[in-house]
């Protein structure tokens, strides 16, 4: 268990004596604090965690990290200067003042990660990080006790919080690593020290910050550059993505290629989508061929499967363990299929939105029988690719959908492109309110219809799904 002594040593480099106070978990939300926990007060866009230190203590926190003055009733130990030898820490709860709480959290997580001889697998890319994380963790769990990020804990705060959950029983850690600008992945790697790096693909999401796919690729490549050299480190690279395939030149780790290219170390062919039943394919590895059926939806999911299988092979799992893990995957991946009261099928893909993920979702919609309705939100942070990204999605929507609902923000660009590509105006609606979308669908849905709800998490399109799905 993490202790106060660990926290002080991580921050100041000197370990105090006789401070056995234990820490159960760390949290940045006072409502999520559990008894014995560590609360990290951070400044957000709307709220400041320093205003909730007392609430965290009421919920059972032993310690809090702060960087500014808080309520005078709270006992504070100042760690901005070295703690004197023999200093007696007060009884819990109390706060530790540091120059920067997020930096302190990162130092503590890096310190704690180095306490454990554990294999860390880092995952980054433009699309497919979370589904890959879930499936990799699922399969590795067939042999190893495996820790993974929860939800979207993939940034400079979430990843350290995940690492603080490490304990002696864990054998593998699977970490999704988010990227916004150069240096982000390098920072996360400095904390996590991954031995395996998985690269999914290079798309256009976050191009508003990075300006180009080339710049995004350079940022993502920080993962392969951070890996230890062969034989300890392994870079698992997508052979079908030219940006990623070229990253073998940037690493001293061994390289394992996956893809549809027969020159890959692991490759697939005879790929057949079976709708909601999953996917069937044939895998090739080291001259052997394996027929596989997995309950993972959509033709595009083949690369997720290949990434997970590649990682399992690198980590020494048998084919029996791999196939069992794939066929019995219980993890909830991003896209969820639910029924409406009208007997229609809803495809809930309301977590993120990029041209790549939009096109993949529309391709899945196309694979399913029935009248097809697409409810699409606009895409942000595409930078110079904004017009082209929305154009591509609109053209594909016109090819796939019988009806299109454009929801808020930039979705009008998708609808306009769909109209220009041949989808008639009477089959297109422009709606800005959740209630309006729900009402439109309730009036028009019939048994056998298939509805794709796709948009960024910030649009809260999940509320549309919640309003329409059958309650069990």
* Overall average pLDDT of the 310-331 stretch: 89
Residue 85 — pLDDT band, cuts 50, 70, 90? confident
How is domain 116-327 classified at the architecture level of CATH? 3-Layer(aba) Sandwich (3.40)
Residues of the chain with CATH 3.90.190.20: 336-468
The DSSP output letter for 270 is: E
Mean pLDDT estimate for the chain:
91
| Residue range 428-444: mean pLDDT, rounded | 93
pLDDT attached to residue 276? 77
Question: How do beta strands 76-78 and 119-124 pair?
Answer: unpaired
Instruction: Give the pLDDT of residue 334.
Output: 52
* C-beta of residue 157 within 8 angstroms of C-beta of residue 102: yes
Q: State pLDDT tens for residues 439-458.
A: 999 999 999 999 999 988 88
Q: If we measure between CA atoms, which residue out of 144, 143, 173 comes closest to residue 161? A: 173
Cross-strand bridge partners of residue 234: 196, 254
- If you ran DSSP here, which 8-state letter would residue 382 be given? -
* Residue pLDDT, tens place only, 48-61: 999 999 999 999 99
pTM of the model as a whole: 0.82
**Residue range(s) of every CATH 3.40.1190.10 domain in the chain:** 116-327
Q: Outline where 378-461 has alpha helix (H).
A: 386-400, 411-420, 434-444
What band does 330 get if pLDDT is binned at 50, 70 and 90? low
CATH superfamily entry for domain 4-104: MurE/MurF, N-terminal domain (3.40.1390.10)
Q: Among candidates 302, 464, 273, which has minimal Cα distance to 374? A: 464
Question: Topology of 336-468 in CATH?
Answer: 3.90.190
* All residues at 6 or more sequence positions from 375 whose CB lies less than 8 Å from its CB, including other chains: 404, 405, 407, 437, 441, 451, 452, 453, 454, 455, 461, 464
């Amino acid at each position: 268990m993490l202790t106060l002594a660990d926290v002080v040593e991580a921050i100041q480099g000197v370990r105090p004596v006789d401070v056995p106070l234990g820490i159960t978990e760390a949290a940045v939300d006072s409502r999520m604090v559990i008894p014995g926990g560590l609360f990290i007060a951070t400044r957000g866009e709307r709220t400041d965690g320093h205003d909730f230190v007392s609430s965290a203590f009421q919920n059972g926190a032993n310690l809090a990290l702060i960087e500014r003055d808080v309520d005078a009733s709270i006992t504070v130990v100042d760690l901005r200067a070295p703690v004197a030898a023999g200093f007696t820490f007060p009884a819990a709860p109390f706060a530790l003042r540091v120059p920067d709480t997020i930096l302190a959290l990162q130092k503590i997580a890096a310190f704690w990660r180095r306490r454990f001889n554990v294999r860390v697998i880092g995952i980054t890319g433009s699309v497919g990080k979370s589904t890959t994380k879930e499936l990799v963790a699922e399969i590795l769990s067939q042999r190893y006790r495996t820790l993974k990020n929860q939800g979207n804990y993939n940034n400079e705060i979430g990843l350290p919080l995940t690492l603080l959950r490490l304990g002696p029983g864990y054998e593998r850690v699977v970490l999704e690593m988010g990227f916004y600008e150069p240096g982000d992945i390098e920072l996360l790697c400095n904390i996590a020290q991954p031995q395996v790096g998985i690269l999914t693909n290079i798309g256009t999401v976050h191009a508003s910050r990075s300006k180009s796919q080339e710049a995004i690729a350079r940022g993502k490549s920080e993962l392969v550059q951070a890996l230890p050299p062969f034989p300890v480190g392994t870079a698992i690279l997508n052979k079908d993505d030219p940006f990623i395939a070229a990253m073998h030149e940037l690493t001293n780790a061994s390289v394992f290629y996956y893809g549809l290219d027969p020159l890959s170390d692991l490759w697939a062919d005879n790929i057949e989508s079976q709708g909601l039943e999953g996917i069937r394919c044939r895998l090739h590895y080291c001259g052997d061929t394996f027929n596989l059926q997995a309950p993972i939806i959509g033709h595009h999911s083949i690369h997720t499967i290949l990434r997970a299988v590649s990682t399992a092979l690198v980590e020494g799992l048998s084919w029996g363990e791999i196939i069992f893990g794939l066929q019995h995957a219980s993890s909830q991946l991003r896209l969820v299929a639910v029924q409406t009261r009208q007997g229609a099928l809803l495809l809930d893909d309301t977590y993120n939105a990029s041209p790549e993920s939009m096109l993949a979702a529309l391709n899945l919609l196309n694979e399913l029988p029935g009248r097809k309705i697409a409810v699409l939100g606009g895409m942000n942070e595409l930078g110079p690719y904004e017009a082209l990204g929305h154009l591509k999605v609109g053209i594909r929507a016109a090819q796939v959908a019988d009806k299109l609902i454009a929801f808020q923000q930039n979705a009008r660009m998708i609808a306009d492109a769909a109209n220009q590509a041949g989808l008639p105006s009477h089959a297109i609606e422009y709606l800005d309110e959740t209630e309006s979308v729900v009402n439109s669908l309730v009036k028009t849905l019939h048994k056998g219809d298939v509805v794709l709800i796709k948009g960024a998490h910030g649009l809260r399109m999940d509320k549309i799904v919640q309003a329409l799905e059958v309650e069990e």
